Amino acid sequence: MSTTEHADSLIDKFGRKVDYIRLSVTDRCDFRCVYCMTEDMTFLPRTQILSLEELYRVAKVFTELGVKKIRLTGGEPMVRTDVMTLIERLGALPGLEELLLTTNGAQLDKYAVALKSAGVSRINISIDSLDAERFKRISRVGKLEKVLSGIDACIEAGIKRIRLNSVIMRGYNEDEVLALTEYALDKGIDIAFIEEMPLGETSDHNRKDTTCSNDWVRNVIEEKYDLNDSAESTAGPSRYVRVAGHESRVGFISPVTHNFCEDCNRVRVTVEGRLLLCLGNEHSVDLRDILRDESKDDSDLKKALIDSMDLKPERHYFFDDDHAQPVRLMNMTGG
Ligand code: SAM
Ligand code: SF4
């Protein structure tokens, strides 16, 4: 690799190239999922969060440094006022190959068509139960039927790849692994199981009691279906398997039991403009200071991003008493 190439792209000190960002557009949400938030949340005041213009500027500079893929997340991205204007502008960014969204799905019946037209090619929709009462218990306020109609709206709108995200927790929904899988198979969409991560303190349970390993989840599915390991990668943390006789893929995101740090290609930007180099560590750079300093321009922002690569830790250590655990909740992290 030439020195010039190195100077203009995001490569960390372990040789990992960063070409994927997760951009949080809000810390707010219309749900209060038990693993993600406490019941009484205080959200950030408006002055502390990046404006839509500032979010766009961050995304643009990242793409100029070789980022090909941006996932919008939060909090719940679709509750941010005028978020569609940002999404439309991002969809037209030169150099960006994929614009993705992670959402709780509650507003997709309204936005699916507009998202498709804006260039969103993949949508991840979180759903942890197919039972309305239980869904409400886990999300504390969510309505299952809104999410189900949002999923159908995405299928009808022709979104290229739709994936369900399910966090399986002992004592909440561990008996729904097969039902959730079969729902995805039936709809011809993908599903990924995510191990609950110890990000911040939860108010309703102790995570050490609830976290379910994906090895266990996989065994449950294999009691009924043949799973074929797949070499497919989406350049994300999921390891996918194919279900014999079906279109759908089943993904396992196992940050707790199978560390996926070796080929990590991503960083996160919180809605306060904090660049987080690792999901499970606190190493960060304040981009908001640079964005709001009139004496600084995009070249300063680029330099900060390139320099930040030296801070990217080699790996995270979840549930390890010898290493500090993140105090950020997931809505502040950008899932
Ligand atoms: N509100 C959107 C949603 O729920 O999809 C986007 C943000 S949410 C923080 C992104 C993903 O993180 C969701 O799939 C959610 O299930 C997952 N998540 C939140 N807290 C988590 C935790 N502590 N461990 C594992 N996954 C978590
Ligand atoms: Fe909201 Fe998503 Fe967190 Fe649930 S997981 S509280 S939907 S941000």
pLDDT at position 148: 98
Spacing, Cα 307 to ligand 1 middle (Å): 29
Would you say residue 278 has pLDDT above 90? no
Q: How far apart, in Å, are the Cα atoms of 197 and each of 4, 129, 189?
A: 38, 18, 25
Question: Is the CB of 58 inside a 6 Å radius of any atom of ligand 2?
Answer: no
Bridge partners (DSSP) of residue 161 are 122
pLDDT tens for each residue of 170-183:
999 999 999 999 99
Q: Rg for the chain (alpha carbons), in Å?
A: 19
74 CA closest ligand 1 atom index: 7
Q: Which ligand is nearest to the CA of 101?
A: 1
Write the pLDDT tens digit of every residue in 15-70: 999 999 999 999 999 999 999 998 888 999 999 999 999 999 999 999 999 999 99
| Any atom of ligand 2 within 6 Å of the Cβ of 76 | yes
Tens-place pLDDT, residues 68-114: 999 999 999 999 999 999 999 999 999 999 999 999 999 999 999 99
Q: What is the pLDDT of residue 1?
A: 40
The full 3-state SS of the chain, as one line of letters, equals: CCHHHHHCCCECCCCCECCEEEEECCCCCCCCCCCCCCCCCCCCCHHHCCCHHHHHHHHHHHHHCCCCEEEEECCCHHHCCCHHHHHHHHHCCCCCCEEEEEECCCCHHHHHHHHHHCCEEEEEEECCCCCHHHHHHHHCCCCHHHHHHHHHHHHHHCCCEEEEEEECECCCCHHHHHHHHHHHHHHCCEEEEECCCCCCCCCCCCHHHHECCHHHHHHHHHCCCCEEECCCCCCCCCEEEEECCCCCEEEEECCCCCCCHHHCCEEEECCCCEEECCCCCCCEEEHHHHHCCCCCCHHHHHHHHHHHHHHCCCCCCCCCCCCCCCCCCHHHHCC
Ligand 1, atom 20: nearest CA belongs to which residue?
36
Residue with CA closest to ligand 1 atom 1: 76
Residue 32, ligand 2, Cβ within 6 A: yes
pLDDT at 265: 87
- Residues flanking ligand 1, CB < 6 Å: 29, 35-36, 73-74, 76, 102-104, 126, 165, 167, 194, 196-197, 199, 330-331, 335
Rounded to two decimals, the pTM is 0.92
Work out which ligand 1 atom sits closest to the CA atom of 24. Answer: 7
Q: What is the pLDDT of residue 238?
A: 72
The response to whether residue 80 sits with its C-beta less than 6 Å from ligand 2 reads no
| Torsion from C-alpha of 179, 108, 104, 120, nearest 10 degrees | 100
Q: Region 292-316: what's the mean pLDDT?
A: 90
29 lines ligand 2 (CB under 6 A): yes
In the chain, what percentage of residues exceed pLDDT 70? 88
| For the CA of 37, the nearest atom of ligand 2 | 6
Once rounded to an integer, what is the mean pLDDT over residues 132-157?
97
Ligand 2 atom at shortest distance from the alpha carbon of 36: 3
What are the structural domains of the chain?
3-333 (3.20.20.70)
Q: How far apart are CA 306 and CA 304, in angstroms?
A: 6
Spacing, Cα 303 to ligand 2 middle (Å): 33
